[in-house]
């Protein structure tokens, strides 16, 4: 096992990640804020009219009424056209998401769902629509400056400002959506998410730790799904209070069903009920704590690109570029079981993780089966393996060498011509220059 210092997760991390995986929270907050903003601005408009009446400035009130009447046409147009605009824009977006998931992998839909610019654009669009409707209720039929009680001056100006902001966000949204439909930005986003997981993993030296006899197991009682995240801080606190060591039995990314043993208790007794809010289970894997999920996504995109129906080896080469980048970032990282400690330095939670050999298999095994049909891919794989072997410590070279030898043998069996075989087995970082 590896000695990894306990790092307290950020506060409300599970809740924050859950909200980022939803598309309803930001627009709902935007609608509530638009109502609060309208209420505050309408009060200011009423105060302005009251102040001008106290100053007997009826001519100025008349000017405000004429300006508000001119702006009313724009506000009416905005309120009637904004919802149609929203429907058209996001209908096109759904088609784009469907095309991207079909060409790459369904896992990339999550990138669109978590896109900040998409949520911000929808939020501002809906807020503008709702705000313009509320502003229309503030217009009075009274045109006499002495009898009018409120003129929606600030409301109208704010509506125009929100329309301008919506147009700017629309440009940014279209640009962002077009980028996410391209292979390069998608694999780059996947890689950066995986590198953040790598950066959060604590380092240390390997050492064996005796956990003591297993005294109990705690089963899972929620709905079936994929184990996405573990609240390490809460489990460490529970184990410290009970003076026990907990061991997480399934890995992050495993599918669990009700009754599945989730926690093993060592060194004491613990309630057979699962501590509340300690694990997050969902319908699909997420990269927050899943070290292997990025490699899984890149491998899926490469495999789809190499399928006979698609036949796009250049996309597979782009995925191999990022796979090599991730393996290079993890080549010196202590892998395997993670030990989380309390404030006193005592191990309280042991969490199993992927070993180096498993990550290398995930990165190359399935792609290697398809690489024999494309010399571009086989050349890039050999170059990437050579690059990682040059950086890997001695105890981690074996897995890479094994995959390299298997690739060479597969190409030799598949390509009978000597010259073509030599070409397919020549390492090239660009595949074919």
Instruction: Inform me whether the pLDDT recorded for 70 exceeds 60.
Output: yes
Half-sphere exposure of 33 (CA within 13 A, CB side): 12
Strand-strand pairing, 245-248 and 261-266:
antiparallel
- The pLDDT confidence band at residue 114, using thresholds 50, 70 and 90, is confident
- The pLDDT confidence band at residue 310, using thresholds 50, 70 and 90, is confident
- What tens digit of pLDDT does each residue of 159-194 get? 889 989 998 998 898 888 888 778 888 899 999 999
How many other C-beta atoms can be found within 10 angstroms of the C-beta atom of residue 148?
Answer: 19
- φ, ψ dihedrals at 361, nearest 5°: -60, -45
Report, as an integer, the average pLDDT of 222-232. Answer: 88
Inter-residue contact 339 to 3 (CB < 8 Å): yes
The C-alpha atoms of residue 154 and residue 177 are separated, in whole angstroms, by 34
Q: What are all long-range contacts of 142-147, with beta carbons under 8 Å and residues at least 24 apart?
A: 143/65, 145/58, 145/59, 145/61, 145/62, 145/65, 146/53, 146/58
The pLDDT of residue 207 is: 58
The pLDDT of residue 273 is: 67
53-57, 96-100, 239-243, 245-249, range with greatest mean pLDDT: 245-249
Half-sphere exposure of 427 (CA within 13 A, CB side): 9
Q: How far is CA 374 from CA 187, 360, 402, 421, in A?
A: 21, 21, 20, 11
* pTM more than 0.75: yes
Report, as an integer, the average pLDDT of 78-89. Answer: 81
Nearest to 367 by CA among 291, 298, 424, 286: 298
- What tens digit of pLDDT does each residue of 246-274 get? 889 999 999 999 988 898 888 877 766 66
Q: How far is CA 329 from CA 3, 17, 32, 125, in A?
A: 19, 24, 44, 41
Instruction: Inform me whether the pLDDT recorded for 393 exceeds 90.
Output: yes
């Amino acid at each position: 096992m590896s000695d990894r210092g306990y790092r307290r997760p950020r506060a409300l991390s599970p809740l924050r990640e859950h909200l980022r995986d939803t598309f309803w929270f930001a627009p709902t907050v935007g609608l509530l804020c638009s109502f609060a903003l309208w209420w505050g601005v309408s009060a200011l408009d009423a105060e302005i009219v009251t102040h001008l009446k106290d100053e007997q400035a009826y001519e100025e009130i008349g000017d405000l009424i004429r300006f508000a009447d001119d702006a009313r046409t724009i506000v009416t147009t905005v309120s009637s056209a904004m919802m149609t605009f929203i429907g058209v824009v996001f209908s096109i977006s759904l088609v784009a998401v469907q095309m991207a998931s079909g060409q790459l992998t369904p896992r990339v839909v999550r990138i669109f769902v978590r896109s900040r610019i998409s949520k911000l654009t929808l939020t501002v669009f809906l807020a503008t629509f709702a705000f313009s409707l509320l502003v229309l209720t503030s217009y009075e039929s009274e045109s006499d400056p002495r009898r009018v009680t409120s003129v929606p001056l600030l409301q109208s100006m704010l509506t125009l400002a929100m329309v301008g902001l919506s147009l700017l966000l629309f440009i940014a949204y279209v640009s962002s959506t077009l980028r996410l439909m391209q292979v390069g930005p998608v694999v780059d986003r996947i890689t950066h998410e995986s590198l953040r997981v790598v950066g959060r993993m604590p380092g240390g030296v390997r050492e064996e730790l005796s956990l003591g006899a297993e005294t109990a197991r705690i089963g899972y009682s929620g709905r079936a799904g994929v184990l996405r995240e573990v609240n390490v801080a809460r489990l460490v606190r529970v184990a410290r209070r009970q003076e026990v060591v907990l061991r997480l039995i399934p890995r992050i990314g495993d599918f669990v069903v009700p009754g599945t043993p989730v926690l093993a208790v060592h060194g004491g007794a613990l309630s057979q009920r699962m501590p509340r809010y300690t694990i997050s289970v969902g319908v699909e894997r997420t990269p927050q704590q899943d070290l292997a999920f990025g490699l899984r996504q890149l491998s899926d995109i490469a495999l789809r690109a190499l399928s006979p129906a698609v036949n796009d080896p250049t996309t597979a080469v782009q995925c191999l570029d990022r796979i090599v980048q991730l393996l290079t970032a993890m080549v010196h990282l202590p892998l395997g079981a993670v030990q989380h400690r309390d404030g006193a330095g005592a191990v309280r939670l042991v969490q199993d993780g992927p070993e180096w050999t498993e990550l290398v298999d995930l990165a190359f095994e399935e792609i290697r089966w398809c690489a024999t049909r494309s010399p571009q891919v086989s050349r890039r794989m050999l170059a990437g393996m050579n690059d990682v072997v040059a950086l890997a410590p001695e105890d981690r070279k074996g897995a890479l060498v094994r995959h390299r030898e298997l690739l060479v043998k597969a190409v030799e069996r598949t390509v009978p011509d000597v010259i073509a075989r030599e070409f397919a087995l020549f390492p090239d970082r660009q595949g074919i220059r």
